[in-house]
Structure 1
Amino acid sequence: MPKTLMISIDERGVARLALTREDKHNAMSAEMIDELTEAASALGSDGRVRVVVLAGAGKSFCAGGDLEWMRAQFKASRAKRIAEARRLAMMFKALNELPKPLIGCVHGSAFGGGIGLISVCDTVIASEAARFGLTEVRLGLIPATISPYVVARIGSSAARSLFVSGRTFDAAHAKSIGLVASVVPAANLDRAVDLEIAEFIAASPEAATRAKALALSLAPPITEEIIESVISQLADSWETTEAQAGITAFFEKRRSNP
């Protein structure tokens, strides 16, 4: 049984995959990363599953990387950082290539890796109160591991603005750049997701799997070379003076010098 996720499958074949580290705003730990990778494999091969809904329990969808996981990277060797970045990259790859429709249900905060999770979904419904951010540069880092999926989702122009500024933005802006498909009042979020589920279930299961593979095959490929390149760039960024200062300040809950 996973410790950081809750997985259920109903009689229609709808699998609900919920992040359950509510006390940490569903920030991704090493354990959650592994469990999400395993869940993608299990749900993808389960003949009962017609569609998967990815959501976060508690107040947030996903706040990005777990503080203790980040602290471990701060102290780790370059080889260890690369290994951990590869673990994260393989999780995003597994979810991106999940051979079932994947619907994101987003509320509260979605930052960093949370936006990576959104970007590998086939469609995303967000609460109008949701907030988003790719804030890595404010710590002296870069959004490297998630970047192939984010750029594939929102395009280079929007990604450049958000990657470089690290600004936070609202659900309306997320919809305008294509990060999410629909924005609804919080009270209507579950209903909106149910309507989306019905659309996917109306499709023939095998045809839906083939259609998703077709769409992925026609998009610019996210190759092993690209994944290794962004992993290496992330490792480089961890070694900069800016990152060391920014992350130290973050842990000490103070502002770093620009």
Structure 2
Amino acid sequence: MHQTTVLLHVDPRGVATVTLNRAELHNAIDDETASLLTATLETLADDDSVRVVVLTGSGISFSAGHDSDWMRHMASFSEAQLRHHAQQLSRLLRTLDTLPKPTIARIPGSAFGLGAGLVACCDIAIGASEALFSFSDVKLGVIPALSAPYVVRAIGPRAARRYFVSAERFNAGKAKRLGLLHQVVELDELDSAVEHCASHLLINGPNAMRAAKQLIALIDSRELDDDLFEDAIDAIVKVRASEEGREGIHAFLEQRKPNWLD
């Protein structure tokens, strides 16, 4: 029977867990997996009942990056075919990065190449202490171009210069110090750490969290000038004037739960 390479489970609270399901291949990503993962994320983006998205991998790894069989297949691709494949993976990363829901990367084990790129696209990244990370593309004579915008944003250009060029592996502790991970826990504490994080997200205004993500994208890498300040003013006025914004303030003043917690 054909194995589904991406699993989806949504609990009654609206926490959606998306699992890369190729444990025997360390959740390596091929074209089918990339397409299915993108489609799953796009579906979740449009589902108002989904409040939080957790991305993880089955087995002992998060994702080993590119599938080796698929890379072997790509070796004979024309330039047009290579471009189509790159566009497919770029769409996956961008979809995850811009998902209008808070995202948590649950990292039970190693994340290499594209897998580490997926981690960098998530809002919150929680990893097991034994997890390893690397960008080994240069060993194959290529570069981590598709993941680079997200990884450089996470760890900065100085660290990226070292790890993109050296292709060396680094552990979870180093990943946290660099900014790729937010939290490192023991493997047997991973689920409780992710649950603790999700429970905090569930009490927040869904539209406010979406707007907060958009605000960060708005100000990232921009000059602190009058145009940016005006855009920030527009953003807060829009949110405060919204139904959710007014409800949140009234609930606070009236010392009651906001209606999104009913």
TM-score bucket (shorter structure): 0.7 to 0.9
Residues 64-109 of structure 1: CA distance to partner in whole angstroms, max 9, x if unpaired? 0001111121111111111101110111011111000000000221
Retained in 2: the 8 A contact 1:61–1:110?
yes
- The one-letter code of the counterpart of 2:167 is G
Q: Distance in 1 between matches of 2:186 and 2:38?
A: 31
TM-score scaled by structure 2? 0.82
Aligned to 1:32: 33
Q: Please say if residues 22 and 59 of structure 1, whose CA atoms lie closer than 8 Å, have aligned partners that are also in contact.
A: yes
Q: Deviations over 1:163-219 (max 9, x none)?
A: 010000000000000000000011100000011101111111111111111112211
Counterpart in the other structure of 2:6? 5
> Could you tell me the percent identity over the aligned residues?
41
CA distance in 2 between partners of 1:147 and 1:203 (Å): 31
Deviation of 1:30 after TM superposition, in Å, equals: 0.1
Contact kept in structure 2, 1:28 and 1:64, CA below 8 Å: yes
Q: Secondary structure at the match of 1:141?
A: coil
The letter of the residue matching 2:5 is T
Q: Distance in 2 between matches of 1:42 and 1:2?
A: 20
Given the superposition, is the C-alpha separation of residues 17 and 141 from structure 1 closer, same or farther in structure 2, using an over 3 Å criterion? same
The residue type paired with residue 27 of structure 2 is: N
Contact conserved, 2:109 with 2:127, CA < 8 A, in 1?
A: no
- Structure 1 segment 1-258 matched on structure 2, within 5 A: 3-220=4-221
Offset of 1:40 from its aligned partner? 1.4
8 Å Cα contact 1:2-1:35 kept in structure 2: no
CA pair 2-33 structure 1, distance change in 2 beyond 3 A? farther
Shift of 1:2: 8.8
Which amino acid in the other structure matches residue 215 of structure 1?
I
The answer on whether the counterparts of 1:64 and 1:110 sit within 8 Å (CA) in structure 2 is yes
Distance across 2 between alignment mates of 1:59 and 1:84: 27
User: Could you say which residue in structure 2 is the equivalent of 1:243?
Assistant: none
User: Residues of 2 paired with 1:216 and 1:15: CA distance?
Assistant: 23
Q: State the alpha-carbon separation in 2 of the partners of residues 47 and 23 from structure 1.
A: 34
> What amino acid maps onto 1:184 in structure 2?
V
Instruction: Note the residue ranges of structure 2 that are not aligned, 5 or more in a row.
Output: 223-262
User: What amino acid does structure 2 have at the position aligned with 1:146?
Assistant: S
TM-score by length of 1: 0.83
Deviation per residue, 1:218-258 (Å, 9 max, x gap): 1149xxxxxxxxxxxxxxxxxxxxxxxxxxxxxxxxxxxxx
- Which runs of at least 4 in structure 1 moved beyond 4 Å after TM superposition? none
What amino acid maps onto 2:204 in structure 1?
A: A
Corresponding pairs, count: 221
Q: Secondary structure at the match of 2:55?
A: strand
Partners of 1:201 and 1:218 in 2: CA distance: 25
